[in-house]
């Protein structure tokens, strides 16, 4: 049935009707059943795409995944709760708006999302006891985000009044280590120790 323009205008004139129509046509900013005051900052397409790539890999090789609190807390500054919400809300958006064939909905019937104190957020097959930690495989960092240690390192490089740069308990990739060594090698009068787990620089 096609509505006349006059009927459409009458429907939109009612605030409640207008809100309901907008909610039906536009993607929601929150998962279903969440209250008006609930905050869902990661219920967005870009976070859904992040977790989508992880679920695709999990389907392919059947190996569980853990988002390590230590790794993501040190490298990106995420608290355990922020890390969990980013994954959880990303999954909810994926299932609601990016899963027309119900591929991921069916997958999540067999996958558990859980938190373990002091360890991390786990995605694993229900009933699976073995655990394979693959933090380095997770493409999690958006391109526009820079790890805190890199920001602080750049500040050290640009400001000669800063005499020391010491960061420990890092988790650097081989590429990070190599690039940092190349950058620091261009400096004069700086003693350096750079490993996968720490960066120590001192101006002489």
Structural domain boundaries, residue 80: 45-137
Number of domains, the chain: 2
Nearest CA among 173, 108, 107 for reference residue 135: 173
Residue 142 lies in a domain: no
Same domain, 178 and 123: no
Same domain, 105 and 180: no
Residue 7 lies in a domain: no
| pLDDT tens by residue, the chain, 204 residues | 455 666 556 655 655 555 554 444 445 555 555 445 456 788 899 999 999 999 998 888 888 888 988 888 888 888 889 899 999 999 999 999 999 999 999 999 888 888 988 888 989 887 754 444 444 445 454 444 567 778 888 888 878 888 899 888 777 778 888 888 888 887 888 899 998 888 999 988
Same domain, 123 and 85: yes
Residue 50 lies in a domain: yes
Residue 132 lies in a domain: yes
| End-to-end CA, the chain | 81
Residue 30 lies in a domain: no
Cβ atoms within 10 Å, residue 157: 16
Same domain, 152 and 129: no
Render pLDDT for 33-45 as a digit per residue (tens, 0 to 9). 544 545 678 889 9
Residue 61 lies in a domain: yes
């Amino acid at each position: 049935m096609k509505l006349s323009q006059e009927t459409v205008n009458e429907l939109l004139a009612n605030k409640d009707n207008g809100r309901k129509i907008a909610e039906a046509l536009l993607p929601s900013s929150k998962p279903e059943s969440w209250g008006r005051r609930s905050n869902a900052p990661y219920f967005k397409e870009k976070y859904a795409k992040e977790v989508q790539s992880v679920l695709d890999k999990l389907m392919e090789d059947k190996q569980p995944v853990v988002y390590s609190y230590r790794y993501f807390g040190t490298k990106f500054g995420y608290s355990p709760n922020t890390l969990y919400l980013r994954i959880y809300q990303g999954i909810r958006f994926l299932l609601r708006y990016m899963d027309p064939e119900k591929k991921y909905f069916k997958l999540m019937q067999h996958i558990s999302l859980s938190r373990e104190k002091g360890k991390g957020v786990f995605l694993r097959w229900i009933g699976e006891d073995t655990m394979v930690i693959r933090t380095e495989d997770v493409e999690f960092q958006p391109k526009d985000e820079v790890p805190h240690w890199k920001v602080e390192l750049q500040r050290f490089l640009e400001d000669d009044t800063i005499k020391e740069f010491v960061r420990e308990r890092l988790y650097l990739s081989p590429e990070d280590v190599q690039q940092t060594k190349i950058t620091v090698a261009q400096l004069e009068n700086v003693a350096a120790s750079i490993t996968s787990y720490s960066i120590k620089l001192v101006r002489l």
